[in-house]
Amino acid sequence: MRALRGTMKDLYNVKPIEDFMTQNKLTKTEFCKRCGLDLGTLDRVLLGHVNMRVQALIKLSQYMQVSIAELFKKCE
């Protein structure tokens, strides 16, 4: 079995999150309040420095009304 290499930035697709905040004119603080995510966690996710917990993925996908799969990059 081949080991996965790279950073979390290689795993997560943060573009839908950034696009959602831009389209809805939300600051990171307001976005976090509305979806129940910690601001520090969001900052680390956007920078690719954290492995999100399942609960965080669920909160994001439910608030943004997207599938959890959309928050991951496609493997090639």
Q: Which helix (H) or strand (E) holds 17?
A: helix 15-23
- 8-69 topology per CATH: 434 Repressor (Amino-terminal Domain) (1.10.260)
Q: What is the pTM of this model?
A: 0.79
Higher pLDDT, 73 or 56: 56
In this predicted structure, the answer to whether residue 3 has a pLDDT above a threshold of 50 is no
Predicted local distance difference test score (pLDDT) of residue 74: 63
Instruction: Output 44 or 20, whichever has higher pLDDT.
Output: 20
Q: Please state, as a whole number, how many other Cβ atoms lie within 10 Å of the Cβ of residue 64.
A: 19
pLDDT at 36 over 50: yes
Q: For position 19, what pLDDT does the model report?
A: 96
The whole-number pLDDT of residue 76 equals 52
